[in-house]
Chains A and B, each alone.
Chain A
């Protein structure tokens, strides 16, 4: 058992076209660390140069926004799902 990270469509190109990945992780930050180590191209899309999560990328543990939990220190347990939800604007013209 591990934590499942769901990779959204716009970011799959930077994650070997994968739609999800599983890691052993005790916090959200740890899981995202594993994710961006495995898929280095993802890093600049998720984190700023000084390592902060970008403001237009929302991260959820199950259905809760980590901004209202403990942000990247939010603990995770086996079977949790982490969703990365970037803003998309398409309508589409």
Chain B
């Protein structure tokens, strides 16, 4: 397992310039890379899906290593909360498209390679067209629909998919889509229902973690391109940063896999948002519909002196960042601590964005609370609409 077929498009440069020989000197003097290997890298085309946390070390190392063509797919814009881990970007990039900001940074790192920025969202309509000119696809996305989409498109086109994902202190990495190797659906036939697994935006992530997992993906990509070493294909690498432990699990090809099994039932790309049960990531919104109050309404009612009990369902460490001086009961403790609430009083529940508090309101309504409202948009909206001195996080 290990070698891949490079797409036969275009003419392949057969030599390196003197500048390139100097630049790649530390590769060229290694017999495992050498001139042949460096030319393989120069002739290789790698597509990065996502230029965020995982995409940062991926882009930097693959560009530095001399991968001849890098494609960068991202529709997102750099914001201040990205800078804690997305080390491709600088403060002056805030507000720019990520794919374009990354293209500028990587071109500066290595002007000798071709970098193509795709300021677009990967969809079932454009994925096959985008993937077809590349040899290896690297999945550095942040959501289940796109991960299933990347997997299926790679299987349909027969391209390797270098996979990495992270959560808080934990990472996973492997290589899917190798001939005879398993695919993402062999590992996880179905995504979790929305809301059951928290996202990075809710759960947080230690900034170094994507650096480590993305670097592992970069290493696996280079090994595939060079055809050296033992690929992670067939193995799921688990990384626990707190315990600083690497573990490895066997990953088998599922003979009944609907995507890569003998009797595949999926023969084209599908609607991945429907498959994952989410409406779309731009407007996550609460998963449940509950009565709401806007920050402005709440403010005017409090100013009027209305008796309103503010319930904060965030975590204690979030309360330390900022608060509306509410009564703190983290969502996870609400079932146990519901007796602290007085159902005869009017209650407004809030969290950071309004999602967790919607769950809290839904739960409390089911247990008999009637005078309870969700603060629409949470403390973020309060900061935008009522009191900008409350910091956003």
Give A55 to B186 CA distance when docked, in angstroms.
Answer: 11
Interface membership of B76, Cβ < 8 A: yes
Q: When the two chains form the complex, which single residue of B54, B192, B196, B243 contacts A19, counting CB atoms closer than 8 Å?
A: B243
Q: When the two chains form the complex, which single residue of B50, B187, B332 contacts A41, counting CB atoms closer than 8 Å?
A: B332
Interface membership of B353, Cβ < 8 A: no
Interface membership of A29, Cβ < 8 A: no
- CB-based contact B187/A58 at 8 Å: yes
Interface membership of A65, Cβ < 8 A: yes
- CB-based contact B144/A89 at 8 Å: yes
**Contact-size category for B:** 35 or more
Given contacts A10-B198, A58-B188, contact A92 B170 (CB under 8 A): no
Q: When the two chains form the complex, which single residue of A68, A85, A87, A93 contacts B144, counting CB atoms closer than 8 Å?
A: A87
Q: When the two chains form the complex, which single residue of B50, B197, B332 contacts A93, counting CB atoms closer than 8 Å?
A: B50
How far does the Cβ of A19 sit from chain B's closest Cβ, in whole Å? Answer: 7
**Chain A positions 53-93 with a Cβ under 8 Å from a chain B Cβ:** 54-56, 58, 60, 63-65, 67-68, 83, 85-93
Which B residues are in CB contact (< 8 Å) with A63? 247-250
The 10 A-B residue pairs whose C-beta atoms are closest, nearest first, are A91-B142, A92-B200, A90-B200, A9-B170, A88-B167, A92-B53, A93-B142, A56-B192, A87-B188, A55-B190
What are 17 A-B contacts with C-beta separation under 8 Å? A19-B243, A54-B192, A58-B187, A63-B247, A67-B254, A83-B238, A87-B191, A89-B142, A89-B165, A90-B53, A91-B140, A91-B210, A92-B53, A92-B85, A92-B142, A92-B166, A93-B201
Q: A: which residues have CB within 8 A of B?
A: 8-10, 13-14, 19, 41, 45, 54-56, 58, 60, 63-65, 67-68, 83, 85-93
